[in-house]
Amino acid sequence: MQKVVTFGEIMLRLKPRENERIIQTDSFSGLYGGAEANVAVSLALLGDNAQFVSKVPAHAIGQAALGALSCYGVDTSEIHRGGPRLGIYFFEKGASIRNTSVVYDRAGSSFAVAPAEEYDWDQILQDAGYFYFSGITPAISSALQKALLAACQYCAKHDIKVICDLNYRGKMWSPKDAQIAMAKLMPYVDICLAHDEDFEATLGIKAFDNDMSHGIEQRETFIQGMKEISRKYPKCQTVASILRDIHSVEDSKWTALMVDHGEVFQAPVYQMHVWEGVASGDAFGAGLVHGLVHHFSKEKMLNYALAASVLKLTISGDFNLVSDAEIQAVMAKQGNMRVLR
């Protein structure tokens, strides 16, 4: 089974217990996560050969982050130890009309301040079949943009498939900076995930009006945007998107689209009661990659990815702690009680 390499940051996530707010709590749950780390954990839990490449500090917090990955079977042999600190994010779950919010405390992390040369791609990628990163990684530092470019170039030479989740984060960089950076990387990308504001902020493509309460009805503009990505970056002939109607923190509808070599696929619509609305995009990406590795049909790949993604909404923490059997069970219930067609 070919190795999937993911490259990004892992952080400590601190969340107040029992729905408390940060300003009132004296008790935090402390878990670890990060977009590409989450993808690696998902793949490892699905039985794939997943390696996460990153850097964490050489103290107890760094070791705990490593342990959190090893625990679920991720290969951590290329996670470097050193540098000043592990990034942190405070996660405050919302309720009803009060949005979930995040306080980032990630500046100056070991991963952020490491030079591009830290990563020896010849060695890391020598037996890889897939390389996965999200738009968060290049947003962290120009060194990481350089490191990513080197990795992508290696992949291009050695026929390693590159998957990129655009994952725009407005708190980390501006659309302008994102577009400059991603324009250099997109030519190497084989499969692209673009959700919500990603189209416009990262690639300058208009596909979504930013009203999260009515994403699903914008199906056509999404499809146009997805096709536009393939036009602009011809290597990228597979583009996938999650579409949502978010009614409240607990209540939303989810579906997904994929455009593959011009052909359009749509997953079913799920009506969800959300426990924790975080990292479902990573779960979706991992589902797609799992489908790739196992040569699923495009339709199955998309449905599998969406089922994985909505399952994540029921899980505590960044990691999508579900099994292949559980994802398949969700898929099997389409048209049944729990899924809206």
Residues between 252 and 311 with contacts to its own copies, criterion CB under 8 A: 270-275, 310-311
The residue type of 171 is K
329 binds its own copies (CB under 8 A): yes
Find the shortest distance in angstroms from Cβ 170 to its own copies. Answer: 16
* Cβ proximity of 69 and 76 under 8 Å: yes
94 binds its own copies (CB under 8 A): yes
| Sole residue written with tokens 């909404």 | 313
Could you give the string, one character per residue 207-236, with x where binding to its own copies holds by CB under 8 A and - elsewhere? Answer: ----xxxx----------------------
* From 2, 47, 64, 80, residue interacting with its own copies (rule: CB under 8 A): 64
Find the shortest distance in angstroms from Cβ 329 to its own copies. Answer: 8
Find the shortest distance in angstroms from Cβ 273 to its own copies. Answer: 4
Find the shortest distance in angstroms from Cβ 50 to its own copies. Answer: 13
81 binds its own copies (CB under 8 A): no
Alpha carbon 45 to its chain centroid, in Å, reads 16
1 binds its own copies (CB under 8 A): no
C-beta of 88 vs 183, nearer to its own copies: 88
* From 40, 128, 139, 339, residue interacting with its own copies (rule: CB under 8 A): 339
Angstrom distance (rounded) from CA 143 to CA 113? 8
CA dihedral 138, 144, 149, 154 (to 10 degrees): -130
159 binds its own copies (CB under 8 A): no
C-beta of 209 vs 263, nearer to its own copies: 209
CA dihedral 223, 199, 161, 284 (to 10 degrees): -80
Say whether 63 sits in a helix, a strand or coil.
helix
322 binds its own copies (CB under 8 A): yes
Angstrom distance (rounded) from CA 103 to CA 89? 6
Find the shortest distance in angstroms from Cβ 93 to its own copies. Answer: 10
Alpha carbon 73 to its chain centroid, in Å, reads 18
The CA angle 87-91-92, to the nearest 5 degrees, is 155
Report the DSSP beta bridge partners of residue 161. 130
197 binds its own copies (CB under 8 A): no
C-beta of 46 vs 322, nearer to its own copies: 322
Find the shortest distance in angstroms from Cβ 96 to its own copies. Answer: 4
Number of neighbouring beta carbons within 10 Å of residue 335: 10
Number of neighbouring beta carbons within 10 Å of residue 102: 15
Binding-site residue total for its own copies (CB under 8 A)? 79
* Cβ proximity of 160 and 125 under 8 Å: yes
